[in-house]
Chains A and B, each alone.
Chain A
């Protein structure tokens, strides 16, 4: 479990690696927040490409980061969503608050 952070042109990208559940969410959250609070980026991109599983703890994680970014009018972008993660995001209604980008190779394979 880990997070790789990359700052480029006002966008902080957090590439999350591993399963997101109640057990792992705290460390991910702390790592993202300490960077985001320092940089206050315009956009926070949460990259789920390397997240094979997530439950509603991941929804809490996204919602919390959305609230944090709101403090300086920043946006949250989700990318690399698997169908499972995308389904959860839609059930939660989060898709109305954040921008979603699907996994790039999903369509090209079909």
Chain B
């Protein structure tokens, strides 16, 4: 399926960019005319993925976080959040609710929240190379599905 629109943005892995990242994706997704709730869900999922890249991917170091987002005519958005950080040794374990290596009051709910707020979440990771999280979400308004 061919995307009808696409954007990419990259930024330094400083925590001040977490709000920038979710705002920029939300602004792009607005083209699909989503509901306020759908947009809030998307922002939350993006915030989790970007925070993971900054807190875990790059840990104490500074790197670049890459986001690409694609919009489809079916009303779907696919957001990819990529880092070139340390990678995740065990993706399955990392995705378990409450599992965290973050300390400092991280709830360990990042992936659980992404999964609850999106239709599908895919994670690819290689040790020492980085992690890519892909979020899929349909932003189709109810009642417009049969148009």
Query: Contact size class for B?
Result: 20 to 34
Task: Give the A interface residue count (CB, 8 A).
Answer: 21
With A21-B47, A83-B37 already in contact, the answer to whether A56 and B54 are too (CB < 8 A) is no
CB proximity to A under 8 Å, residues B25-76: 37, 40-41, 43-44, 47-48, 51, 54-55
Q: Are B109 and A56 in contact (CB under 8 A)?
A: yes
| Interface secondary structure of B, over-half rule | helix
Chain B contacts for A88, CB-based, 8 A:
44, 113
CB of A72 closer than 8 Å to a CB of B: no
CB proximity to B under 8 Å, residues A1-47: 19, 21-23, 25, 29
With A84-B40, A84-B44 already in contact, the answer to whether A91 and B109 are too (CB < 8 A) is yes
List B residues at the A interface (Cβ < 8 Å): 15-16, 18-19, 22, 37, 40-41, 43-44, 47-48, 51, 54-55, 105-107, 109-110, 112-113, 116
List A residues at the B interface (Cβ < 8 Å): 19, 21-23, 25, 29, 53, 55-57, 59-61, 63-64, 83-84, 87-88, 91-92
